[in-house]
A = this chain, B = another copy of it.
């Protein structure tokens, strides 16, 4: 799971339900993992979306400058840039490489957000990383996340970029992200200005948390909702639990209560659908874009405040 690549899969555009996507809906590129940058921008723009969440690998493939031009040409907003983090290893060359890579990611985020349509958000999503190989020192790994944020915050601030710590579902705590709850993400963000360090609110990862509603309210009150991402949870989980995400409405997550909680904070940014799911990855990009718009329209959009005030 290293994000989109340009291998086989997807491609030919056939139509599939949907209508016009909600104006705040953004297609996270991971949902069409096999699309290269051009294919992703095209599927998203042709699908009637106004925004896209980009991943680093497809951007690197064409180079940052070219990627920025193509994003600008697409007319799409950038909703987030995915992803940095993976900085739980102890001090040493591997950690230095991770920090440097995050610095480049911050710069890329700033460049792409500047190139995107008005309303683009310079948000760099951070996945903390798991326990280092052979370690069971969860407390230490978490402390290194805090240290990494302290090291990167000045760069983010200088670049006008918000670092969005993403709590991942606890089933990924050992191998992907030692940040497991929104509360924990907010505690990690607390030492920093909210414009510099915020949190990613992703329904898939936090829907189960008995504290999720008060923590969403807290995130809003502290100004730290950097992005809102939606996809659904369903069991049984597939053999690879990284690929267990579903279109909103296809599982058991209560998008009404979570979305209303986010709306109640005043969050008015784009909302991404980010799905890792082999079946969805194998479908034509245009179909995925259309189905995602339809799923969002049915399961999430009804819980959003009207985007244009009535006069």
Decide if A239 is an interface residue (CB 8 Å cutoff): yes
* A131 contacts chain B at the CB level, 8 A cutoff: yes
Bound Cα distance from A190 to B33, whole angstroms? 47
A241 at interface (Cβ–Cβ under 8 A)?
A: yes
Question: Within 8 Å CB of A291, what residues of B?
Answer: none
**Shortest distance from the beta carbon of A247 to any chain B beta carbon, whole Å:** 14
- Of the listed stretches A16-24, A49-57, A166-174, A279-287, name the one at the interface; the rest are far from the partner chain: A166-174
State in angstroms the CA–CA spacing of A239 and B171 once bound together.
13
Interface size bracket, A side: 35 or more
The secondary-structure label for the interface of chain A is loop
Contact B170 A209 (CB under 8 A): yes
Is A15 interfacial (CB-CB < 8 Å)?
Answer: no
Q: B174 and A136: CB pair below 8 A?
A: no
Within A208-242, the residues touching B (CB, 8 Å) are: 208-211, 233-237, 239-241
Q: Which one of A38-46, A90-98, A102-110, A178-186 contacts B?
A: A178-186
Chain B residue nearest to A185 in the complex (CB): B210
Residue of B nearest to A237 (CB): B241
| In the complex, chain B residues whose CB is within 8 Å of the CB of A138 | 207-208, 252, 254
Contact present for A253 and B171 (CB under 8 Å)? no
A252 contacts B174, C-beta separation under 8 Å = yes
Q: Are B253 and A136 in contact (CB under 8 A)?
A: yes
A252 with B136, Cβ < 8 A, contacts A169-B171, A174-B235, A235-B174 known: yes
The residue among A131, A136, A237 with the most chain B CB atoms within 10 A of its own CB is: A136
Closest B-chain residue to A131, C-beta based? Answer: B252
Q: Does A142 contact B (CB under 8 A)?
A: yes
In whole angstroms, what is the CA distance A181 to B136 when docked? 20
A170-B237 contact in complex given A136-B252, A136-B253, A137-B254, C-beta closer than 8 Å: no
Most buried by B among A169, A170, A181, A241: A170
Q: Return 13 A-B CB contacts under 8 Å, by A number.
A: A131-B252, A138-B252, A138-B254, A139-B254, A139-B257, A142-B210, A169-B171, A170-B171, A170-B208, A174-B233, A181-B210, A236-B240, A241-B241
Given A138-B208, A142-B210, 12 other A-B contacts at CB below 8 A? A137-B254, A138-B252, A139-B254, A169-B170, A170-B171, A170-B209, A174-B251, A174-B252, A180-B208, A180-B209, A183-B211, A239-B239
